[in-house]
Structure 1
Amino acid sequence: MSKDQVLDPGAIAARLADLPAWKEADGWIVRTYRTHSWKGTLMVINTVGHLAEAAWHHPDLTASYAWVEVRLTTHSAKGLTEKDFALARKIEEVVGWQPGLEGGALEGTPSDPRFAYIKHGR
């Protein structure tokens, strides 16, 4: 399947099964990240921006103090394609990374709310 071929509803549903926090809405896949503060919101925006620019596939973003909504569609194809799901998976991987859970030298952010970044678990 071409990376720019619009996916049918069954293929979209199958791909969303691997991205449970993402939903399909009006030809987009959408995910809202809850953050602890404006600082966390900016970190999510910058992370998504870096990944999207590196992939040359650009989401629509909406943000407020403690949340960021990411919306993906392939504008040139006028629908959802493999590009959207590949970028969504990469965003999930990077934004959702919790080094403290994997062990090793990187311990993750302290549990102190002053240093909280993203609200994990949803």
Structure 2
Amino acid sequence: MVEEAKGTRPAEKVYSEPEIIAKLEKDLPHWRYENGWIRRKYKTHGWKSTLMVINTIGHLAEAAWHHPDLKASYAWVEVLLMNHAAKGVTDKDFDLAAKIESVVQWQPGQEAGSLEGTPQTDQRFAYIKYDN
């Protein structure tokens, strides 16, 4: 893949607050808009799970070449997305948020197939506090 020369890419659309709120309500209902960022807090069952979520988000962000800000504590990770280059929320933010959401909220045990997912009732193995 050939890199484009700096400044030759068309400017990305920066969404207005009402547009952002409408897109979140429609496509990412667990995300919210606050202080110029789209945000989502994932609750975990502890530090080990928190680190696994951070590493998952890190992998997705690096592969996408679009990097969120992260806040973390013992049992939660908060993802904050805003396109720094565009100085606002763009399609890159919505697309990465959707990818993060689909991977972090994936529950293999709820699908048909051989993957059973982590046992949520055994605290030694519980991972994410899923939304449903």
What is the TM-score when the length of structure 1 is the normalising length?
A: 0.94
- Please report the RMSD computed on the Cα atoms of aligned residues, expressed in angstroms: 1.4
Tell me the number of residue pairs that the alignment of Structure 1 and Structure 2 aligns. 121
State yes or no: 1:6 paired with 2:14: yes
Runs of 4+ in 1 over 4 A off after TM superposition: none
Over the matched positions of the two proteins, sequence identity in percent amounts to 65
CA distance, structure 1, for counterparts of residue 89 and residue 11 of structure 2: 10
Give the aligned partner of residue 95 of structure 1: 104
Q: Structure 2: where are the runs of 5+ without partners?
A: 1-9
Please state whether the residue corresponding to 2:66 is helix, strand or coil. coil
What is the TM-score when the length of structure 2 is the normalising length?
A: 0.87
CA distance, structure 1, for counterparts of residue 111 and residue 69 of structure 2: 31
Give 2:30's aligned amino acid. A
Alignment check: 8 A CA contact 2:61 2:68 kept: yes
Please state whether the residue corresponding to 1:6 is helix, strand or coil. coil
Give the aligned partner of residue 24 of structure 2: 16
Q: Considering only CA atoms, is the larger Rg found in Structure 1 or Structure 2?
A: 2
Give the aligned partner of residue 83 of structure 1: 92
CA distance, structure 1, for counterparts of residue 90 and residue 11 of structure 2: 6
CA distance, structure 2, for counterparts of residue 10 and residue 61 of structure 1: 24
Please state whether the residue corresponding to 2:124 is helix, strand or coil. helix
